[in-house]
Amino acid sequence: MNNLIPYLAVSTILFSLGLAITVTKKNLILMLMGLELMLNAVNINLVAFSKYDPNPEKGQVMAIMVMLVAASEIAVGLAIILKIRKFYNSVDPEQLDELKN
Amino acid sequence: MKFQEYLPLATDLVFYIFCAVAVGGAFYVLMAKNVLYAAYGLLCSFLGVAGIFVFAGSEYVAASQIMIYVGGILILLVFGIMLSSGKKSGKEYLKIKSRNLTWGLTLGLALIAIMTIIISTIRFDFKQKLASQSIKNIGFSLMTDQVFALELVGILLLIALVGATFIAKTDE
């Protein structure tokens, strides 16, 4: 594929779907999945544009960095979600409405 | 028509199949009624994106996409689903409830429309020849020019590991 437009289109659609998932779902794990989809969409853009860079390693290293940041984010996020689940007995963000029990 | 003339067409077809797999998996995550099935949709989406990376000419990023996302993040998510579904909540736990699904879809479609307008108005003017890419170049770059990113990610991963262990430990 030497045209840039299909990459941008796929990335746009993935980002919008990730945003819709993050906004609508009443489940913290699903919201994390939406975040991952959005990060993936950004990665597609980085890699697609790096094709036209004189030294394409920059964009690819940036994409790998985004991936590792996503990995650490999911590790910490899941730990927090497990704590929330233990404390509130639910992973519905609408029920997390008390600060002190 | 000889075989060589079919080849670009077939390449485009495979690329669009990967695009369809990525978008379809993401759409299934939006529409799924079960958390575990949503994780499988996410798996399809990640694999499709890995294929798109291959077509964008960066095989190393595709391999690390499969290793990190499919082998790490998705497994972690499935572990999270299994650990946070207890007997107390019953079978209803795996059900996904959505709130304002129509408004969410409207938001997504509006974003797609805006981005489509932006993409169609911008003229990308790439005159230069495509640079040759190889995994060797990425290795050299990681050890010379981009070494700061490497160190930063290493420290970040260490902090995330320690933090996740600290948060998830049981209070005695």
> What's the CATH number where A58 sits?
1.10.287.3510
Q: Give the per-residue pLDDT at A56.
A: 80
Is residue B26 predicted with pLDDT exceeding 70?
yes
Which of A37, A48, A78 shows the shortest C-beta gap to B45? A37
- A101 in a structural domain: no
* CATH 3.40.50.2300 corresponds to the domain B1-116: no
Distance CA B130, CA B122 (A): 20
pLDDT tens-digit series, residues B72-98: 899 999 988 888 776 666 666 678 888
**Structural domain boundaries enclosing A65:** 5-95
**Partners of B34 in the β-ladder:** B95
Average confidence score pLDDT of chain B: 86
- A100 in a structural domain: no
- Torsion angle (degrees, nearest 10) of CA B46, A78, A63, B16: 20
Within 10 A of B27 (CB to CB), how many other CB atoms are there?
Answer: 17
Q: Give the per-residue pLDDT at B130.
A: 65
Q: Give the per-residue pLDDT at B86.
A: 65
Q: CB under 8 Å to B25, separation ≥6 — which residues?
A: B41, B42, B43, B44, B45, B46, B47, B48
- pLDDT mean over A82-100: 82
Is residue A42 predicted with pLDDT exceeding 90?
yes
Subunit contact A40:B84, Cβ cutoff 8 A:
no
Subunit contact B128:A6, Cβ cutoff 8 A:
no
Q: What are phi and psi of B166, to 5 degrees?
A: -65, -40
Query: Among B45-59, B65-79, B96-110, whose mean pLDDT is lowest?
Result: B96-110
Where is pLDDT greater, at A13 or B5? A13
B134 contact A CB<8A: no
Give the domain ranges of chain B: 1-116, 126-172
Q: Are A80 and B163 in contact (CB under 8 A)?
A: no
Quote ipTM for the complex: 0.91
Q: CB under 8 Å to A55, separation ≥6 — which residues?
A: B131, B137, B141
Which one-letter DSSP state was computed for residue A91? -
The token pair at B76 is: 């972690």
Query: What is the domain count for chain A?
Result: 1
B101 min Cα distance to partner chain A (Å): 6
Q: How confident is the model at residue B162 (pLDDT cuts 50, 70, 90)?
A: very high
User: A27: nearest CA in chain B?
Assistant: B96
